[in-house]
Structure 1
Amino acid sequence: MTEENRSRRLSFDGKYIQASLVETVRDYDANGVVTNLSNEAMIVDGGVSGVVPPWKSTILRGGTIARAERVSIVDVPDATNLGGIMFDGWDWFGNRLTEFPRTTPLFISKHDVVGQVALNPWRFSNHPEPRDETVHYDIQLNLWWAPAKTDAVIHNTHSFLEIHTQIFGLGRIQIFHDQAGENLYREISTAPGDTHDPIVRVADTRHYTYPWHRGWTDEDCVWMAIELHPKTA
């Protein structure tokens, strides 16, 4: 029998962020932004039970997760001096990507591989004509932090499926026709507890097409990247 409520701290748990992973969740009290990292619905206890769909999230303040396969729980208990997060084992993103703009204050946490999942990438991305094919992925998480009014750089290249959960602050995902950012045609609002739908189109099991897009912070923001990396054969 699988042990219930197996938990551990995530690699980006620290002075400013409380972050944990819980698996085979049963009757578990949670405090923070809870993200359902599985293909199964998460059930929230209450007078009327609530449902958090696969790969979506909610905010619980002492609420009880009645049942879930795998969740992350991330909280900012005190936002005082939150910018100090950059000194708590985080990295300025320009140290990892040499072509990154030298004046953009975007910071990234350590990564954490939290498990594996098998899913249909066409259905995951809400493709209008999905193929009937399942792919195995590693689930990798990391956090980002940026102060208000940060342009997190327009890009369109990822070798994985990606969605984001907003942890702290208000922001937007902005989608453009061009890399120059002169033709904005769509915005997705991001507030704490939100996980947006995928913006990717799946060509095949290892090739993904993303529009030109960027993160934009209206306030100081922390958000969590959820990356699904296809496993090698």
Structure 2
Amino acid sequence: MARSTYTNWQGKQTVNHPAPLVRATAEDRNAETPLNFTGRHVEATLVRNADNYFVRGSAIVVNLGVDAVHIAQEPRKGIPPLSSTILRECTVEQADALVLLRTDDDVPVAPIVDEPGWRLLGDLLAQAPQQGEGTSFPRDTPLWRSPQDDAGTISFDPAYVLKQTQLPEREQQFQIKVNLWFAPAGTDCAIHDRHDFIEVHTQVHGLGSMQKFSAQDHAALYEDLRMSPGYTTPDPFCVQESDGSYRYPWHQYRADTDCVWLAVEYHAIAR
């Protein structure tokens, strides 16, 4: 399959993963590619065109697709769309694309920020952007981001995936981007309400929360989704507006312990 290059947020040319997410020939099935943020603390692997794919040992398995992924056990249950679970020594029947994450819960994870490409988010922002109509991002927030990687393209009707319609009608193509985040225990990662993409989060190490607020104020908390390793926020927080943009509630990630989590972003590809 053809590969291309893209420029990541560090300004480096990086080999892009094959796209789109489609059924491949036999020789392309169960293709494993280490993601560019895999390292000593988290092993991260992209698996494309899974066909009776065996999960060795134990791994957090993230379903990047919009169809359920079945596990070869009876009764045939599996991983819902845009969701995850922890699997051990079992077989995934079919999947367009999965991310497998392996880490040791007993090893301190804070040194992950010393691995290549990790940066404090405040240092990555040339200018502190406004978080919707509220205050700007606090540049000294102890929130680190790994290098970001591309995980292929996918087509779906965003209104259907976001449960705004009962039947899919108008598909759109999206680029899937993935990266890890780290925050130390007790970190509020800044209440914000602006993204130009659909996102979900998967807990990888430690305990944290995805929180929703009625205003950019910690006292305005109205929903607190507790996250342990292997858990993905069950539905994207946003809805699609009539102009195609996405409206999010005020929300943030909070680290209860030292935490690593995966962000999966679906960026609309302009036609």
TM-score (norm 2): 0.81
What is the alpha-carbon distance in structure 1 between the residues aligned to residue 226 and residue 105 of structure 2?
Answer: 23
Residue 233 of structure 2 is aligned to residue 208 of structure 1: no
Residue 171 of structure 2 is aligned to residue 171 of structure 1: no
Q: Is residue 135–residue 205 contact of structure 1 (8 Å, CA) maintained in 2?
A: no
- Secondary structure of 2:188's partner? coil
Runs of 4+ aligned residues of structure 1 deviating over 4 Å after TM superposition are 128-131
Residue identity in the other structure for 1:15: R
**Aligned residue number for residue 41 of structure 2:** 16
Deviates more, 1:41-50 or 1:51-60: 41-50
**Aligned residue number for residue 82 of structure 1:** 109
C-alpha RMSD over aligned residues: 1.8
Aligned length: 233
**Aligned residue number for residue 101 of structure 1:** 138
Deviation string, structure 1 residues 128-152 (Cα, Å, up to 9, x no partner): 6777321110001011111111100
**Aligned residue number for residue 85 of structure 2:** 58
Unpaired stretches in structure 2, ≥5 consecutive residues: 1-24, 129-136
Does the C-alpha gap of structure 1 residues 85 and 107 become closer, same or farther in structure 2, counting only changes over 3 Å? same
Deviation string, structure 1 residues 52-91 (Cα, Å, up to 9, x no partner): 1211111012222122221000111364231110010211
Q: Is residue 36–residue 149 contact of structure 2 (8 Å, CA) maintained in 1?
A: yes
TM-score (norm 1): 0.93
What is the alpha-carbon distance in structure 1 between the residues aligned to residue 213 and residue 74 of structure 2?
Answer: 43
Q: Provide the identity percentage.
A: 34
Q: Is residue 165–residue 225 contact of structure 1 (8 Å, CA) maintained in 2?
A: yes
Residue 32 of structure 2 is aligned to residue 7 of structure 1: yes
Q: Is residue 37–residue 146 contact of structure 2 (8 Å, CA) maintained in 1?
A: yes
Does the C-alpha gap of structure 1 residues 129 and 5 become closer, same or farther in structure 2, counting only changes over 3 Å? closer
**Aligned residue number for residue 155 of structure 2:** 118
Deviates more, 1:151-160 or 1:169-178: 169-178
